[in-house]
Amino acid sequence: MKNVLITGASRGIGAACAKLFAKNGFRVFVNYIKNKELAEAVCAECRAFGVDAISIGADISVPTAVNAMFSEIENRYGGVDILINNAGIAQQLLFSDITEADWNRMFDVNVKGTYLCSQAALPHMIHQKCGSIVNLSSMWGLVGASCEVHYSAAKAAVIGFTKALAKELAPSGIRVNCVAPGAVNTEMNAHLSKEDIALLCDETPLGRIASAEEIAEAIYFLAVNSSFTTGQILSPNGGLVI
């Protein structure tokens, strides 16, 4: 049974990924930072598919926490075969109002966390001469968003990280890809008003926002079903960004 670690998997896109991988026979590690109860609920849904599902707490922006998480997985289950760097944060602020703390936290979670987890996953993948990493960016990492400069910059960094690491790891049989979603119906967008959501739907050629499950399908495709694909950015955004 192959192992998949999904960061930030106690809700939203991460939880949808955990259930999809479990449905397809993977042992699932559900990373969370605070809400163990929610992570355990996701694990229970995963176990209904007849696979192992383990919740594992760690702040992915802290090196010691990341190393401890990977050590636990490797010591008990043999290492991470597929890594989904899903955990992330967002914030809407005028550029003039972004503090240094806001900027640092945005990059710590969205970029540093991706770096730390990817680096920790590599020894096992390199030893096996195979592996798959999928990073989560955003369509705003492709085109930028007003009042989200630090978020857009961090998500753009994830795209550059993906392309460079893919080239470096390809000779070792390890693929690295990226999903850059448009607006998704998750808690991250819960702050948006009904009017904001309606405007997004009107601006999107497909006329709606995505479900978490639709983004999970894109992630699963890159992680599992695209053996000759690496260094690519897939942006399921309903046609809003082309």
* Among 32, 77, 115, 151, the one annotated catalytic: 151
Tokens coding 74? 């490797």
DSSP annotation string for the chain: --EEEETT-SSHHHHHHHHHHHHTT-EEEEEESS-HHHHHHHHHHHHTTTS-EEEEE--TTSHHHHHHHHHHHHHHH---SEEEE---------GGG--HHHHHHHHIIIIIHHHHHHHHHHHHHHHHT-EEEEEE--HHHHH--TT-HHHHHHHHHHHHHHHHHHHHHGGGTEEEEEE----BSSGGGTTS-HHHHHHHHHHSTTSSPBPHHHHHHHHHHHHHS-TT--S-EE--STTS--
Amino acid making up residue 49: F
CA distance 82 to 5: 6
Residue that the structure tokens 């009042």 belong to: 147
List 175's β-bridge partners, or say none. Answer: 132
Q: Is 151 assigned a catalytic role? A: yes
Residues assigned a catalytic role: 151
